[in-house]
Amino acid sequence: MSKNVRNLSFRKGLDDNLFENLAEAHAESPDLQPEVIRSVADKYLIGNANVYGAATFYDFLNPEKSNKKVFSCAGSACMLAGTQHALHQTLEQHFEPSEIGEVYCLGRCYENSAFHYKGLNYSGSAATQLSQLKSGAVTTIEDHYRVGSIGAGLLTTNSPSAETCLQTLAKLLESDRDALLEEITTSGLRGRGGAGFPLGIKLAGVKKEVADHKYIVCNADEGDPGAFSDRYLLEQRAHLVNFGMAISGYISGAQEGVIYIRAEYPEAIEICNKAIEPFNQLFPYKKANGETVDFKLHVVKAQGAYICGEETALLSSLEGLRPEVRTRPPFPVQYGLFGKPTAVNNVETLANLHAILTLGGAAFKAIGTAKSSGTKLLSLDSHFNRPGLYEVDMGTPLSKAINELGGGMKEPVKAYHIGGPLGGLVPMSKIDDLTIDFETFAANGFLLGHASILSIPARFPLVEYLEHLFAFTAHESCGKCFPCRIGSVRGKELLQKARTSDYKIDRTLFNDLIDTLEKGSLCALGGGLPLPVKNALHYFPEELGGYFK
């Protein structure tokens, strides 16, 4: 069935795609009346159930949430900061309780008190101006956070202008594709979204495939609570991302590129829609040898589903299917968007290509460490004295980032959750053992991931934080595999019961649960959740031991 819908969706392509038609249908009829569903289904020659089932998966399209007028952030950073209870009280002075919804992470982790209203995000003291926001006297409130760097500063301090990127792109389109791919391979650039897979291998994989159509997809669905590095790039360095998309398309032979941006980043969507225009105007590009190169960029607004950060779920979403994880193989480079060869990369990965192809692959490789080249963006939350977005050379000591860039902590902290909800939970005792790179994190049983750094205050109960992680996974699971779908709920129930009563969790049962999640889940949502849980149990036995028997 999925293949049939995928093929039918491909007939209309990205200019009139099924996924965006679902959003338009919801805008026309928030309760998704049968005639609206039928209209979309008839247009794409698919069943009503396919349309309704896909639309209702998303937070912002689900008719059960159509009455929500304002959404408060339920992400880990805001929860740990303790700001959201007071925010709810303020929101309830302006809205009925039934009109207040929740959303996971608005990328305002540096100041918290975050909420989403009338398609825009707010944080900090913005809630005090709700009366003006509701009346229209105030529509936008400036957003400020620190940005800095140590080292090369390729994406922040020393990044090129949009005009320079366009000039460089036009020049490189005259170059040999294999030579450009060799520079990327030489650079050693690894994916910045989590797994650290080499970009050169992905592009080579798509390049060698024979197909009538190929795609480059930018995974800009940055849903990890605590991370806002992609948001920074999309809003302030969109031209770097567009350059990376276009040159990746040229190298691999892809004709179209999609930047899939989470709905929770409305400002980024608006900026990127404008930023792609001059890049699209460059194409079709006629080379000096007479060859015509064509490439078209699209920006697609996601609709609220953390699982779409997983590449195969994202592809299913773009096709108008329910965003469920696909089994692999085949991998996206062989069978990706609409069943065509596709390279899926995250925002920061693509943004590095300008530096690589202007400095040279070897020069980029010389920055960082032998196996983790280049720089890395870090997101520091509001517990730091200087919260914000910072760039460091790979291999920079974690302690240097915390104490020099972040300026130390506002209050005692017992651990950092680094790399998103599925990243490692790092106790203070391990800080001096880690450098910002893939190798030391893996060797010590952690995960660098997006390199978001969430601070867990000494005052905050770890059992409550672990319960939150299971609850987050349960809420965001696509439901395709039962270890994640059921296991996340059972984990939440066990921890909640132990936390709120004299119940003691059977440790053998709990170990079996997280082992099943780790080994049996189809993707890193269920499979990654056990990492911070295991870290917590290992490093904080005295604090957590009383909840187990």
Q: Which residue has the tokens 């469920």?
A: 324
**pLDDT, tens digit, 9 for 90 and up, residues 147-194:** 999 999 999 998 999 999 999 999 999 999 999 999 999 999 999 987
What pLDDT was estimated at residue 143?
A: 86
**pLDDT, tens digit, 9 for 90 and up, residues 33-85:** 999 999 999 999 999 999 999 999 999 999 988 899 999 999 999 999 999 99
Mean of pLDDT over the chain: 95
What pLDDT was estimated at residue 3?
A: 84
What contacts 164, CB < 8 A, 6 or more positions away? Answer: none
Q: What amino acid is encoded at 271 in this protein?
A: I
What contacts 177, CB < 8 A, 6 or more positions away? Answer: 207, 250, 251, 253
Q: Which residue has the tokens 């592009």?
A: 203
Q: For residue 1, what pLDDT band results from cuts at 50, 70 and 90?
A: low
**CA distance to 39, 473, 516, per residue, from 524 (Å):** 36, 11, 13
Is the Cβ–Cβ distance between 214 and 253 less than 8 Å?
A: yes
Q: Looking at the predicted structure, is the pLDDT value of residue 200 above 60?
A: yes
**pLDDT, tens digit, 9 for 90 and up, residues 335-393:** 999 999 999 999 999 999 999 999 999 999 999 999 999 999 999 999 999 999 999 99
**pLDDT, tens digit, 9 for 90 and up, residues 400-433:** 999 999 999 999 999 999 999 999 999 999 999 9
- ∠ Cα 30 31 35 (to 5°): 100
Q: Which residue has the tokens 């302690």?
A: 399
Q: Which domains does the chain have, with CATH numbers?
A: 2-56 (no CATH), 70-144 (3.40.30.10), 147-365 (3.40.50.11540), 375-455 (3.10.20.600), 462-547 (1.20.1440.230)
3 state SS of 425: strand
DSSP string, 326-368: PPSSSPTTTS-GGGS-EEEEEHHHHHTHHHHHHH-HHHHHTSB
- ∠ Cα 152 451 447 (to 5°): 125
Task: Give the single-character DSSP code of 176.
Answer: -
Distance CA 40, CA 25 (A): 8
- Residue 376: strand pairing partners: 392
CB atoms within 10 A of CB 201: 14
Q: For residue 225, what pLDDT band results from cuts at 50, 70 and 90?
A: confident
Give the pLDDT mean for 123-149: 91
Strands 256-261, 215-220: pairing is parallel
Is the Cβ–Cβ distance between 44 and 14 less than 8 Å?
A: no
Q: For residue 86, what pLDDT band results from cuts at 50, 70 and 90?
A: very high
Long-range CB pairs of 25-32, under 8 A, 24+ apart, other chains included? 25/51, 25/55, 26/55, 26/60, 26/61, 26/63, 26/66, 30/63, 30/66, 31/63, 31/66, 32/56, 32/61, 32/63
**pLDDT, tens digit, 9 for 90 and up, residues 522-540:** 999 999 999 999 999 999 9
3 state SS of 165: helix
Question: What stretch of H or E contains 452?
Answer: strand 452-457
**pLDDT, tens digit, 9 for 90 and up, residues 380-406:** 999 999 999 999 999 999 999 999 999
What contacts 178, CB < 8 A, 6 or more positions away? Answer: none
What pLDDT was estimated at residue 165?
A: 97
- Cα 306–chain centre separation: 8
What pLDDT was estimated at residue 195?
A: 77
Closest CA to 445 of 426, 462, 421: 426
Closest CA to 18 of 9, 27, 26: 9
Peptide bond into 34 cis (omega under 30): no
Residues above pLDDT 70, as percent of the chain: 100
